[in-house]
Amino acid sequence: MHSTPSRPPGAGRTTARRGRLGALALIGAAMLLSGCTEPSFGAYKSVTSQGRSTFHLWQGFSIGAIVIGAFTLLLILWAALRFRARGNDETLPRQTQYHLPLEVTYTVIPILIVFALFAATVVVENKVTANPPPATVIRVYAFQWGWQFTYPSTNFATPTVGFSIRGQETNTPEMVMPQGENVRIILQSVDVVHGFYVRQFNFSRYALPGVQNIFTFNAQSTGTFFGQCTQLCGLYHSLMFFKVRVVTPAAYQQWLAAELAAAPITSSIAASASVRQQLDSGVPVKPAIGAGVN
């Protein structure tokens, strides 16, 4: 900046203030670097390998946002307070209107930052949306107001329904999946748009009528995780919960065998067969179980 013709009182204190600011910034940086090696910035570190990548992207974006945000905020406050008119000072400031080098700088630097963010985004996005050959396929049907998780009988390649787990607002259904294996989810809605969201997987996807959304989870640890519908879908939207239980592959195979034995194809819920038939013919109808509440 050019020197101002008349320095207002108090300008001499700036050096001391700048020193204090620098010290604060140093302390902040030290805390950031030493205190916690992996600050989460409020997000889940995620259970799936896909969600983990997303989490790292979140960290990168957050560091950038905090640095740029703090810098800009200080500039705003500095400009507003440092150049405050004092008392009855009626003199007029220099009427500076342009400073081309400065303007070019704050155009070019953000463009570079944007392309860096975009590059990181594309790398993570390709990881998160990739669909490698799966070990297990689970079909997820969303309906007003619940979920159905349909497992294949023997081979994921055949569309045969093995058995289904279904639940709605009064009984929360549970999707069981193996740890450390690629689990392919084929997501679809049978009525309105729903949102399939598992908090600790750092992932959500719409369940759309007439569209199959396919994505992959590879859970790195076992446990039970909370899921919920995120897209407004009508009266009981708030109560459309589900759970995801990740178990070891061995435990998964055991569970699968037990479920298959307990619920063979023939006795599998009639509604799910009718849902599938409707979907195949391209004419979705509301499953009987949801119709009564509407």
Partner 1 sequence: MTELIERPAADGGDVVVVDDHGGAGHDAHEHHGPSGLLKWLTTTDHKVIGLSYTVTSVLMLVIGGFLAELIRIQLATPNSTFVSLAEYNQLFTMHGSLMIYLFAGPFAFGGLANIIVPLQIGAPDMAFPRLNALSYWLYLSGSLIMLLGFVVAGGAADFGWVGYAPLSNALYSPGAGADLWIAALLLTGFSAIFTGVNLCATVFYLRAPGMTMFRMPIFTWNLLVVGILILLAFPVLTAGLVMLYCDRHFGTHIYTVHGGGVPVLWQHIFWFWGHPEVYILALPFFGMVTEVIAAFSKKPVFGYKGMIFATITIAALSLGVWAHHMFTTGVVLLPFFSIMSLLIAVPTGIKIFNWIGTMWGGKVRLETAMLFAIGFVITFLIGGLTGIYLASPPLDFFTHDTYFVVAHFHSVVLALVMGGMAGLYYWGPKVTGYRLNEPLGKIQFWLWFIGAQMMVVPQYILGLLGMPRRIAVYPNDPQWATLNQWATAGAILMGVSTLVFVVNFLYSWKRYPVGNNPWDAQTLEWFTTSPPPHHNYYSLPPIRSERPTWDYNHPDQRSLAHGHHEEPAPAGAPA
Beta bridge partners of 143: 146
Quick one: 210 exposed, middle or buried, by C-beta within 10 A (0-12, 13-18, 19+)? Answer: exposed
Q: Which of 164, 168, 228, 268 contacts partner 1 by CB under 8 A?
A: 228
Specify the residue, 26 or 68, whose C-beta has the smaller distance to partner 1. 68
Residue 275 has a CB neighbour count (10 Å cut-off) of 27
Helix or strand holding residue 141 (H, E) = strand 136-143
User: If binding is defined by CB under 8 A, does position 283 make contact with partner 1?
Assistant: yes
186 is a contact residue toward partner 1 (CB under 8 A) = no
Tell me how far CA of residue 207 lies from CA of 62, 74, 213, in angstroms: 29, 43, 7
From the list 195, 202, 178, the residue with the least C-alpha distance to 50 is 202
Is it true that the peptide bond before 147 is cis, omega within 30 degrees of 0? Answer: no
**Per rule CB under 8 A, is residue 174 in the interface with partner 1?**
no
Closer residue to partner 1 in complex, CB, 93/264: 93
Question: What minimum distance in Å lies between the beta carbon of 135 and partner 1?
Answer: 22
Q: Which of residues 14-33 bind partner 1 (CB under 8 A)?
A: none
Work out how close the CB of 253 gets to partner 1 at its nearest, in angstroms, rounded to a whole number: 30
Alpha-carbon gap, residue 176 to 271, rounded angstroms:
21
Distance CA 139, CA 159 (A): 10
Give the residue with the Cβ less far from partner 1, 92 or 262. 92
Give yes or no for residue 276 binding partner 1 (CB under 8 A): no
Nearest to 198 by CA among 90, 51, 70: 51
Residue 32 beta carbon to partner 1: minimum distance, rounded to whole angstroms: 17
Structure tokens at 264: 């063979």
Q: To the nearest whole angstrom, how small is the minimum distance from the Cβ of residue 264 to partner 1?
A: 31
- Binding string, 246-275, against partner 1, x = CB under 8 A? ------------------------------
Contacts (CB under 8 A) with partner 1, residues 119-148: 120-122, 124-125, 128-129, 144
| 165 lies in the site for partner 1, by CB under 8 A | no
Is 136 or 189 the residue whose CB approaches partner 1 more closely? 189
